[in-house]
Structure 1
Amino acid sequence: MPGPEVTAFLNALNETEHLAPERMLAYQRRLLARLLPHAARETGFYRDRLSPVLRNDGTFDWERWNEIPILMRSDLQDSFDQLVARNLPKSAGGVNEDVSSGSTGSAVRHLNADLQNFATACCNERFFAWHGIDPGALYARIRITDHPDAVWPNGRRLEGWRIAYDRSVAIDLSTMATMDQQIEWLERIRPRYLMTYPSILRTIASEMAGRQKPLRFDAVLSFGEMLTEDARRTIEDGLGVHPLDRYGTGEVGHISAVCPQHLKHHISSELVLVEIVDEQGQEVPAGTEGRVIVTPFYSLAMPLIRYDIGDYAVLSGEPCSCGRSLPVFERILGRSRNVFRSADGRRIWPAILSSEIGRHLPNRQFQIVQLDFDHVEIRYVPMPGEQTSNVAGLTAYVRERLQSEVKLSVQPVDAIERSAGGKYEDFKSMLD
C-alpha cells in the first residue's frame, strides 16, 4: 500500500486535473509564491532577476511575469554554482546531482530535490492509472543504464519500482544489448508491458513484420525521445497497440502525458508552468508553433524559472473532450537540433515516412542528417543479404517532402550513432 504522503498527493492530482482554468492559475501562483522568494533569497543568480514580479512589500506583480528573462541551457552550464540554492526547506528532502541527456546537443549538470522527484513519480502514477496499467504485472524496461546487472541475457530485476506499489516488478535491460538480443529477451520473459524509447519500439515493431508469432503486449509505453507520428503508426502496425507516451526532461521532471481517450498530451499543470513563445520571447497564441518555456514548481534545489528546454510545440486552443481541464499540447514538434533550416531562414520539420525510406532503401534503421542548407545525408543500417536500392526515387521523395532541391547522399553504416545521452535521433541538423 502507498504511504500517506503518496495517497494524499495522488488524491490531490485526481481533483486538480478537473480544475477550471482560473482555479488552476490560482493554484499555480500559490506554488510560484513559494518558489520565487526562495530562489531570490537562496541563490545568487535570481537575487535581482525576479525583481519585475517580486515587490518590496512581499506581494507579486503577476502582470510582469514575462519580463523575467528566459533561462537558457547555457546559463546552467555557465552559472551552475550561482543557480544552486544555499538552503532548502525541510520539505524538499535530500538532493541528487545528475547530467541531462544532452539531446539538444549540450548536456547540463542539474540538481533535483527529493520533493521534485516525488512529484514526478506521482504524476507517473496518475498516467498509469489513466491507462489502466496493472501494477501487479511484469514490466520490461529497455533503457540507458550502466548498472552491471542490467545486461543481456537476464537483465536486472527490480521490485517496488513504482512509488505507489511495493510489489511492482520490472526487469531492466541496457540499450547496449543488440536488437536481436532485445527481441530474444522479450520473447523469453514475456512481459505484459514494455517501456522504452520510441526508436526502439519502432525497430521492434518493424522486426515483427511477417513473423508468424509476433511479440504482443497489453501496452507499450514510450519516453525519453520525441514520438513522431511516423513512429507511432509503425508501432501501432507492428505491435497492435498505441504507444502511451510521456514528455519530460531530467532537470525538469514530468511535463505531460498522453490522454487515455485521445493521442494528445495533457500538461501536468500541477507540477509545471508551460509557456509557448516566439524567437523574441513573446507569447504566441494557441495553434502557433513556438519554443517551450517551463517553470517546474518543485525545483527548489536548483530553481529553473522560465527555462527554455530547447523544444518546439503547439498548444491547443480547445479543451479536451475527455473531461479533464488540463491544457493540451496540439503537437510536440521536437528539439531545436532536429529541425532543418533553409537558406532563407525557414524552419522545416522533416515529415519523412520510414515506410517510404524503406521502400527505396531497405534498412533496419536510418537517420537523416542536414549537413548544409542544400545537402542531406541518409545514414542507414542495411538489411541482411543483397537488397535493391532506388536512390533516384528516394531523392525525388526527400526533395518533395522538404520542398527543396537538396543534394541527397546515402551512407551505409554498421550502427546509427547515438546522441550524447545515448538516445537516437531520426533527424539531426548539423547547422548552428
Structure 2
Amino acid sequence: MFPLFNLSLQLNGFPMKEAKAELRKIVALSEKEHEIFVTNKKVEIVNFHLQNNPFYKDLAGMTTFTNWEDLPVLNKKNLQKPLLERLSKGYFPKNSYVNKTSGSGGTPFIFAKDKYCHALTWASNIYRFGWYGIDFNTSYQARFYGIPMDFMGNQKERFKDFLTNRFRFSIFDLSDEILEGFLNHFRTKKFDYINGYTSSIVLFAKFLQKKNIVLTAICPTLKVCMVTSEMLFEEDKILLEKQFGIPIVNEYGASELDLIAFQSRSVGTEGEWQINSETLFVEILDDNNQLVPNGIAGRIVITSLFNKAHPFIRYDIGDIGILDEKSTLQKPILKKLIGRTNDVAILASGKKSPGLTFYYVTKSIIEDDGNVKEFVIKQTKIDTFEIEYVSETELNLAQIKKIEEAITLYLEPNLKFSFLRKKSLERSNRGKLKQFKSML
C-alpha cells in the first residue's frame, strides 16, 4: 500500500523524517543523558517564550528565570484569549498547526503548535502504536469517534479518514439497529485495530455479549483495541478483552499537547501506563503548586518541551492522577488517573468526593445483570443527585435500595437520588460521554 499517511503529513508541511530521527535519538539516551536532555529543554523552552512571547512574559512576570518552581502554573482560563495574542513572534495560524480542544473539562479553547512540534506528536504516536504492530500507513483502523455534522466539516473529516486508512463509526446514535450495522462492517472489512472513545466501544462490546459473539471470530484480522478520552474501568477492560478477543490498550492524551501515557508492552512492564517523557515533562502538584511524592494524588501539570508557537509550560490539564512509586525521570509511570478536577461533588457535610466515587459504587451494583447499558450522574443540589440511565428494563426498588445503601456507606447518609430511564444519553458535540456533572 502506498504510504498516504506519511505523504499527507509531509505535504502539510510537517517534517516527519526529522521528527522521527529526533525521537529515535531521545529514546536511545541513557538515564543520565535523559536527565541532561530534560534539564536543557526546560531551560530552552522557557527562555524562548520569555524572549519571543509577550503573552507568556507578561504572565510569568519575569524576563529570565533561574528557578523552575517560580514559574506560574497555567490553566485553561489563562488561555481563553484570542489566539493571535498568545502566539510567539514569527508564528501565525498559517505557518502553525491550529486546532480546538474538545472542552470536555468545560473550558474549550483554540491552541497552536509549530509544525515541528506537531510532527513530533505524530512521531510519538507512530512509535507507541508500533509497540502493538500497528503501522499508520498500512493498518486499517475501525474508528469509534464523533464527526462534524455540517457538510464541509463532515467531508473534510471523511477525506482525512481516507488518507489515514481508517473507517469511521459515528457514535451519536448507538441503538441496537445501528450497532448491528457496525457488526456487518466487521464481517466484511479487514480491520487491524479499533481506536476511539471508551464508552462507545464498551457499548458495542455489551451488544456483542448479548448476541454471544466474539469479534475476532468474524473479523480475524483484528490485533488490538486502543481506548481513549474517557475512563476505562477494570470490569469494562475485562468485558472488552472477552468480547473482542484481542489486547485492550488504554491511551491518555490531550490534543493541545501530545499522547501523555500509553500502556507498555515491554517484558516486565506489560500494562503499565508509561508517560511520554520524550516530548513532555510531567509533574504532579498539590493545591499550593508543590510537588507531591510519588504514590500521592495531585494535579497533573505538563510542559510541552518543543512547542515554540504557543507556551504550554507548567500547564494544569485539569486532571488528577498518581505517579507510581517506582517512576523515574526517564520512565515515569502513571499509576492511576482519578478524573478531572472539576468533577468533584461537594456534599452537605462539606466533604468533597470525586464524581468517580459515585460512578464506581453505582456501576458495581447496576451492572451485575447487564441490564443497564450506560449511565451518568448529575449533582443538582448539595444533597440531590440524578442518575440517568439506558437499560433494557427499568431499575426495580431492590436495585435502587442497594445503590442508596452503598452510597451511604461510601459517601454519607441522607443524600437524595432520582433515577431517570432514557433512550439515549446526552453526549458532547464530539461524541464524548461526561460521566459525572455537578450543576452547582
TM-score range, shorter chain: 0.7 to 0.9
User: 2:143 touches 2:196 (CA, 8 Å); kept in 1?
Assistant: yes
Q: Are residues 329 and 364 of structure 1, via their aligned partners in 2, closer, same or farther at CA, if it must alter by over 3 Å?
A: same
Q: 1:219 aligns with which of 224, 228, 251?
A: 224
Query: How much has 1:257 moved relative to structure 2?
Result: 1.2
Match for residue 207 of structure 1?
A: 207
1:387-418 CA distances to partner (integer Å, 9 max, x unpaired)? 75632122223333445542221011232112
1:177-206 CA distances to partner (integer Å, 9 max, x unpaired)? 434324423432442311110111111111
Q: Are residues 173 and 357 of structure 1, via their aligned partners in 2, closer, same or farther at CA, if it must alter by over 3 Å?
A: same
Q: 1:358 aligns with which of 331, 356, 367?
A: 367
Match for residue 123 of structure 1?
A: 124
SS of the equivalent of 2:316 reads strand
SS of the equivalent of 1:123 reads helix
Q: Which amino acid aligns with 1:341?
A: I
Query: How much has 1:109 moved relative to structure 2?
Result: 1.7
Q: What is the root-mean-square deviation of aligned Cα atoms in Å?
A: 3.1
Q: 1:175 aligns with which of 165, 168, 171?
A: 171
SS of the equivalent of 2:209 reads coil
Match for residue 47 of structure 1?
A: 57
The separation in 1 between residues aligned to 2:318 and 2:362, in whole angstroms, is 24
Q: Does residue 16 of the first structure (1) align with residue 26 of the second (2)?
A: yes
Query: How much has 1:277 moved relative to structure 2?
Result: 0.4
Give the TM-score of the pair, scaled to structure 1: 0.83
Match for residue 290 of structure 1?
A: 298
Match for residue 346 of structure 1?
A: 352
Match for residue 181 of structure 2?
A: 184
The separation in 2 between residues aligned to 1:132 and 1:319, in whole angstroms, is 26
Q: Which amino acid aligns with 1:143?
A: Y
The separation in 2 between residues aligned to 1:393 and 1:353, in whole angstroms, is 9
User: 2:361 touches 2:403 (CA, 8 Å); kept in 1?
Assistant: no
Q: Are residues 19 and 377 of structure 1, via their aligned partners in 2, closer, same or farther at CA, if it must alter by over 3 Å?
A: farther
Q: Does residue 418 of the first structure (1) align with residue 414 of the second (2)?
A: no
User: 1:103 touches 1:421 (CA, 8 Å); kept in 2?
Assistant: no
User: 2:53 touches 2:89 (CA, 8 Å); kept in 1?
Assistant: yes
Give the TM-score of the pair, scaled to structure 2: 0.82
1:211-238 CA distances to partner (integer Å, 9 max, x unpaired)? 2433234211112223333432332343
SS of the equivalent of 1:33 reads helix
Q: Which amino acid aligns with 1:223?
A: T
Match for residue 164 of structure 1?
A: none
What runs of 5+ residues in structure 1 fail to find an aligned partner? Answer: 162-168
Match for residue 28 of structure 1?
A: 38
1:73-101 CA distances to partner (integer Å, 9 max, x unpaired)? 11111464432223149xx9921332211
1:342-421 paired onto structure 2 within 5 Å: 342=347, 343-348=349-354, 349-350=356-357, 351-352=360-361, 354-359=363-368, 362-383=371-392, 388=396, 390-402=399-411, 404-419=413-428, 421=430
User: 1:255 touches 1:271 (CA, 8 Å); kept in 2?
Assistant: no
Q: Are residues 379 and 290 of structure 1, via their aligned partners in 2, closer, same or farther at CA, if it must alter by over 3 Å?
A: same
SS of the equivalent of 1:75 reads coil
1:349-404 CA distances to partner (integer Å, 9 max, x unpaired)? 41236352134893222112233342222101132x67756321222233334455
Match for residue 71 of structure 2?
A: 68
Match for residue 142 of structure 2?
A: 140
Q: Are residues 128 and 271 of structure 1, via their aligned partners in 2, closer, same or farther at CA, if it must alter by over 3 Å?
A: same
Q: Are residues 11 and 310 of structure 1, via their aligned partners in 2, closer, same or farther at CA, if it must alter by over 3 Å?
A: same
Q: 1:265 aligns with which of 262, 268, 273?
A: 273
Match for residue 165 of structure 1?
A: none
Match for residue 166 of structure 1?
A: none
More helix by share: 2
Paired residue total: 408
Match for residue 98 of structure 2?
A: 97
Q: Are residues 353 and 122 of structure 1, via their aligned partners in 2, closer, same or farther at CA, if it must alter by over 3 Å?
A: farther
Q: Are residues 149 and 178 of structure 1, via their aligned partners in 2, closer, same or farther at CA, if it must alter by over 3 Å?
A: farther
What runs of 5+ residues in structure 2 fail to find an aligned partner? Answer: 217-221
Q: 1:232 aligns with which of 225, 234, 237?
A: 237
Of 255-264 and 79-88, deviating more is 79-88
Q: Are residues 347 and 24 of structure 1, via their aligned partners in 2, closer, same or farther at CA, if it must alter by over 3 Å?
A: farther
Q: Which amino acid aligns with 2:353?
A: R
1:269-304 CA distances to partner (integer Å, 9 max, x unpaired)? 111111110111111110010001111122222211
